[in-house]
A = this chain, B = another copy of it.
Amino acid sequence: MLIRPAIQDDSDAIWAIIGPTIRAGDTYTIDPDITEEAAKARWLGRDRETFVAVEDGKIVGTYYIRPNQEGGGNHVANCGYMTAQAEAGRGVARRMGEHSMEHARGRGFHAMVFNFVVGSNDRAVRLWQSLGFAIVGRVPGAFRHPTLGYVDALVMFRSL
């Protein structure tokens, strides 16, 4: 699997991955009704670096990395990751997670934080824990899951 910076020409393949996840509305706090154009513009925004994971010439995952905050908070990285639904469970997210930590170190970030991991997203929580992230916060009922109702949002963190 190759992980490389995304280019504008990847945007349709990226949408094919992020679109179903955004529309499902059960793991990310992006408006499920966001337009394709707006979602692409955000995922590939100038406030971040965006990568794609490529296998046999096909984009199977994508992630972005950016400073978690401006000013006094810009030494901590924040990322978002999505894997093609057909590729789930094959380690794509893990590879992207490892790549993002390495990239973050190279960029001089001291740590990485996920501000809003949906508590019902067991697969994500376990993955990040296995990659050294700890749950450092829990916001009660902060996410309205489309089928489960209100679930907690987790803050997950690790030093780099």
Contacts and interface: CB of A to CB of B under 8 A. Distances in A.
A6 B133 CA distance: 41
B72 A141 contact: no
A124 to B, nearest CB: 15
Interface residues of A, number: 37
B140 A137 contact: no
A136 B145 contact: no
B71 A31 contact: yes
A51 B115 CA distance: 27
Contact of A136 (B28, B110, B140, B143): B140
A69 to B, nearest CB: 4
Interface in A26-45: 26, 28-32
Nearest to A73: B29
Given A28-B71, A111-B142, 4 more contacts: A69-B142, A74-B144, A136-B138, A140-B159
A74 B29 CA distance: 8
A136 to B, nearest CB: 6
B136 A73 contact: no
A127 interface: no
B136 A72 contact: no
27 contacts: A25-B71, A25-B72, A29-B71, A29-B74, A30-B71, A31-B70, A31-B71, A69-B142, A72-B118, A73-B143, A75-B144, A76-B142, A110-B141, A111-B142, A113-B139, A113-B142, A115-B115, A136-B137, A136-B138, A136-B139, A137-B137, A137-B138, A137-B139, A137-B155, A139-B155, A139-B157, A155-B155
